[in-house]
Amino acid sequence: MSRRLLRWGLLVLVAVPVLYLAATFATVWRAAHHDGARPASAIVVLGAAQYDGRPSPALKARLDHVVELWQNDKTASIVVTGGKQPGDRFTEATASATYLKGQGIPEAKILREVSGRSSFESLAGSASFLKRRGLTRVVLVSDAYHAARIEGIAREVGLDATVSPTPSTRSPSASRYARETVAVATARIVGFRRAAGISRTVRESQVDGG
């Protein structure tokens, strides 16, 4: 009898995490393939790499999608986010703002978050000034596999958010979905703020050779 209980206990210990990860993967997948575009007070675009003031292909794809969304709702403000890496002359937000102005977006419609070095920092910083302006109904733009995590972050920092993923990014590698599944699964347990801190600690340890 005790052996049977032990086997059942071991089965539960294995099955529960597997089922939890499977359910989280389904959430990540659905979010990646759902377009949450809607009328909003602001469109927030997550930053990505820039090359001396020029958006990388990934960032350009996000910005082009923002332009499409804004053409359907020109009352919305656009929030560009992202700081800069050591040695960079421009922030990701500055590169994004310059590109958007070149696409005809008025300067007055562009708000900048220029210090974030992670999705959490960028969205927390954006939420801080958006809430002061009463602009809490937002649409987020980033790569598709990223959708579930940034929506969770946005809600944690007090934004009423949906996500409109960049259409060209809905079929990334399986490893991208796997990493996002683990990230979202962890954040749902410990909170997105703490999960972001854990992720940064791991990255810094890797850089330092730890």
Chain segment 117-139, per-residue pLDDT in tens? 899 999 999 999 999 999 999 99
Q: Is 25 within the bounds of a domain?
A: no
pLDDT per residue over 32-50, tens digit each?
A: 999 999 999 999 999 999 9
In-domain check, residue 185: yes
Is residue 14 one of the residues assigned to a domain? no
Q: Which of 33, 13, 11, 40 is nearest to 154 (CA)?
A: 40
More confident residue, 46 or 18: 46
Confidence of residue 12 (pLDDT cuts 50, 70, 90): low
**Residue range of the domain that includes 65:** 31-207
> What's the half-sphere exposure (Cβ side, CA atoms, 13 Å) at 109?
22
Pair of tokens at residue 11:
């089965």
Of 180, 189, 193, 70, nearest to 123 (Cα)?
A: 193
Classify residue 131: in a domain, yes or no: yes
| 88: CATH | 3.40.50.620
In a domain, 15, yes or no: no
Checking DSSP bridges between strand 137-141 and strand 160-163, what pairing results, if any? parallel
Does 2 map to a domain?
no
Work out how many domains the chain is built from and give that number.
Answer: 1
Average pLDDT over residues 193-208: 58
pTM: 0.86
Give dist(CA 98, CA 120) in Å, integer. Answer: 23
Give me the pLDDT at residue 198, please: 61
